[in-house]
């Protein structure tokens, strides 16, 4: 039977929510070097393998509660990485446009 597990809602007081709000207003703190660094960040092969293993086992409804929490932790970290990388791409695009002007 396939799992219908859904991600828990993020508590507005959680570390993820707080960091997300912090990142949402951090354009002024970016530099070209930092933006480029964010775009180079990626999960290690070990973490990618673990995420894949958890995803496969989740589809088979075979995760323990702690493994399910670990899977959600990876998802939250990936979401935050996506926010950082999106902001970095936007920053570099604006910087390039300003340079061309």
Q: Per-residue pLDDT for 65 more than 70? A: yes
Q: What is the pLDDT of residues 4-61, one digit of tens each?
A: 555 556 677 877 778 777 776 655 678 999 999 999 999 999 999 999 999 999 999 9
- What ranges do the domains of the chain cover? 45-101
89 Cβ contact partners less than 8 Å away, ≥ 6 residues apart = 35, 39
Taking the model in full, what pTM does it have? 0.76
Q: Per-residue pLDDT for 1 more than 60? A: no
Q: What's phi and psi for 34, nearest 5 deg? A: -70, -40
Give the pLDDT confidence score for residue 10 in this predicted structure. 66
Name the most confidently modeled range: 42-46, 84-88, 94-98. 42-46
């Amino acid at each position: 039977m396939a799992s219908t597990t859904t991600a828990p809602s993020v508590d507005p007081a959680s570390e993820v929510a707080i960091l997300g709000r912090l990142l949402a207003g951090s354009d002024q703190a970016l530099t070209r070097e930092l933006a480029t660094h964010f775009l180079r960040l990626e999960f290690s092969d070990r973490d990618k393998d673990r995420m894949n293993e958890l995803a496969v086992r989740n589809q088979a409804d075979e995760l323990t509660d702690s493994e399910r929490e670990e899977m959600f932790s990876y998802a939250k970290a990936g979401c935050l990485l996506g926010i950082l990388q999106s902001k970095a791409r936007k920053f570099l695009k604006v910087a390039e446009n300003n340079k061309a002007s």
